[in-house]
A and B are shown apart, each in its own frame.
Chain A
């Protein structure tokens, strides 16, 4: 499964690659990284229908995670993609807004990788 991780902290790349080392080696999961909303959008437009899951931070400079979510859902030519949003502020407003915009799930920072792994396994095989 192709996963695109969007976060302005570049070190999340190393972290994800380490955390999911076994899954990456076995080819079960494959990660790509974008460090801003704009970069993520450009990546998705260049590779339509490759990415099956987007995991995005909400609070980023420039395009926020919610705006990215809006774009992804609005551009109809892309396949329906599962989106999980991550935020440091577990506030109700953002949660409602994210779910209203069509996010599949909502996670809070600090990210619990055990929970994330569980959620990924439970996703319908795409």
Chain B
């Protein structure tokens, strides 16, 4: 139970004069006991089926405390379930994994829930179906899609009622209440939470979320004392059951209440506790809510630097969360608009068919009615088109922002390489300047005319040094010029270049980028660059970017494999160029981790990445592919075997 100790420590540091009775860092005794006993059970011999379900239960318990640990157990359950072909267990594990990833990777999480839902429906597993409907509903609440969110929640509720599973019904009612709260329908929020509360009391099930929802409803109605009571009850219960998420919610609710009342010190106090709880759990959204409040509080009360600190935390959270959400929301909207446009087209076709029938009848009245319908339909279509255009524009902006981010990441790689390149010439300049000073001093100390041969030697040395200084200064200048060219955006001009030079320059830059990042990796690099290749017309900046990207990816794959492979493993990178009919070809092969077929199929898709969140934008290879194909009329292919390595084959027409 390392987490609560750390938490308690943080509290002590943050509030050294806290009265002992109010210390909220007490370990959640209940869940710890449950978790320990589950872990004991895992050690006993059992069937694989039982083990899958047990792992899922451990994941459930951990989810309220540390989502990353929950993901680990869910993954283990999934692997085992798939190995023994246990469909129900696979569905359960997929749902757990989705829940654990909901903060870090919303799109992946939605995909996992849908897979799980598919299995649940195929195996007619009603409980799991309801579970996934709820999980997907939560994602739509995140995306602020009211219609979809409530539709999933109510489907889940319906199944719960059909199954007479009242514990489930409590959760669904409370979730619906919270959704209404988010969408500003206070009466409905209140109503559903009250229904949930009555039922939960009868069943003696936890009410931590319900109390928070009731607290929110009371706060929004301005019933301060009532709201405070609910929040405090929710906090007490969350602590008892060790539920850090609802604890975060309740703390933030209470802090918001104090902010409304203008009691900023109390607001800061509770928002900090909320922030801690969210951080420990890995609940980014909760951290965001708490840090937003803290930023406001500190802006009003001071000190300003604390406001800044929480503002930057807030921005980091926003960047992580809303970058992915915006793209998802826009893609979704785009998809829906396309559907709507298709429906409109189908409707129009149907109308035309009817028009012919009416024409046969020849009723003038019919024609008139049609005219009216068509006119209305036309304006509807126009509205749909306007909405579509707007969403497309927004999607474009979001994509441009991501492309910009990818560019900055690339520039980072490049800068590391270039900073290193600059060291050498600067060193020479410094050294030659220093020895020249020595020479001049020698000259001054000699008696005039005593040794004219020595004088001549010194003068020749000085001249040579000055030439060296000038040369190395020039070398530094051209390196910096190269860097500036890389950072310049916009369309470059095609130039005739020697492919081999471009490839080896890019390789050197990527290598230096690697060395500054990871000193421990020794990669054996072999190059086989065919002499006498025909010159190619390319935009040098863009192509070197593609090569650096491919090399950097290869180094990453080698690093990843070296982390797990034994000491016999030697990371190797092979680069070759050759002439092929109609063009030239570059092959970049590594013996790194390699990719399974499904990853290979998606590797050039925008936003697809296998790197952990925050490490890759998922745009590197997609941009490279664009540059090679649409920019230069070439091809970029990948061949890979999992566990053996990957080869990228790039060809350019001459």
Contact = CB atoms under 8 A, between A and B. Distances in A.
A109 B427 contact: yes
Contact of B464 (A14, A93, A109, A110): A14
B431 A15 contact: yes
B520 A19 contact: no
B567 to A, nearest CB: 13
B519 A21 contact: no
Contacts of A19: 431, 435
Contacts of A92: 519
Contacts of B464: 14
B47 interface: no
B520 A15 contact: no
Contacts of A18: 432, 435, 439, 461, 465
B423 A15 contact: no
A21 B461 contact: yes
Contacts of A15: 428, 431-432, 435, 468
A93 B427 CA distance: 25
A19 B465 CA distance: 11
B478 to A, nearest CB: 16
B312 interface: no
A93 B461 contact: no
B587 interface: no
Contacts of A14: 432, 464-465, 468
B431 A93 contact: no
Interface in B426-440: 427-428, 430-432, 435, 438-439
Contacts of B468: 11, 14-15
A38 to B, nearest CB: 16
A104 B479 CA distance: 35
A70 B69 CA distance: 47
Interface in A74-89: 88-89
A18 B461 CA distance: 8
Contacts of A89: 515, 519
A56 to B, nearest CB: 16
A92 B518 CA distance: 12
B519 A93 contact: yes
B424 interface: yes
A8 to B, nearest CB: 11
B204 to A, nearest CB: 60
Contacts of B471: 11
How many chain A residues sit at the interface, stated as a range, is 10 to 19
Contacts of B158: none
A94 B439 CA distance: 36
Contacts of B461: 18, 21
A111 B430 CA distance: 11
B400 interface: no
Interface residues of B, number: 21
A27 to B, nearest CB: 16
Interface string A13-30: 011001101000000000
A122 interface: no
A31 B423 CA distance: 25
Contacts of A11: 428, 468, 471-472
Interface string A94-126: 000000000000000111010000000000000
B519 A88 contact: no
A80 B566 CA distance: 35
A91 B438 CA distance: 33
B301 interface: no
A3 to B, nearest CB: 17
B5 interface: no
A39 interface: no
A110 B461 CA distance: 22
A109 B432 contact: no
A67 B90 CA distance: 53
Nearest to A12: B428
Given A14-B464, A15-B432, A91 B520 contact: yes
A91 B468 CA distance: 30
A12 B519 CA distance: 25
A88 B519 CA distance: 11
Interface in B374-431: 420, 423-424, 427-428, 430-431
Contacts of B428: 11, 15
B522 interface: yes
A123 B432 CA distance: 26
B519 A91 contact: yes
Given A11-B468, A18-B465, A88 B435 contact: no
A89 B465 CA distance: 27
Contacts of B431: 15, 19, 113
A93 B520 contact: yes
A50 interface: no
A21 B460 CA distance: 13
Contacts of A93: 519-520, 522
A113 B431 CA distance: 9
Contacts of A21: 435, 438-439, 461
A19 B433 CA distance: 11
B435 A110 contact: no
B469 to A, nearest CB: 11
A110 B423 CA distance: 8
A109 B423 contact: yes
A22 B230 CA distance: 87
A18 B420 CA distance: 25
A111 B427 CA distance: 9
A5 to B, nearest CB: 14
A106 to B, nearest CB: 14
Contacts of B430: 110
Nearest to B475: A11
A105 B430 CA distance: 24
A89 B461 CA distance: 31
Nearest to A59: B515
Interface in B518-548: 519-520, 522
6 contacts: A11-B428, A14-B432, A14-B464, A15-B432, A19-B431, A88-B423
Given A18-B465, A89-B515, A91-B519, 10 more contacts: A14-B464, A14-B465, A15-B428, A15-B432, A18-B439, A21-B435, A21-B438, A21-B439, A21-B461, A88-B423
Give 8 nearest A-B pairs by CB, closest first: A91-B519, A18-B435, A110-B427, A15-B431, A89-B515, A19-B435, A11-B428, A93-B520
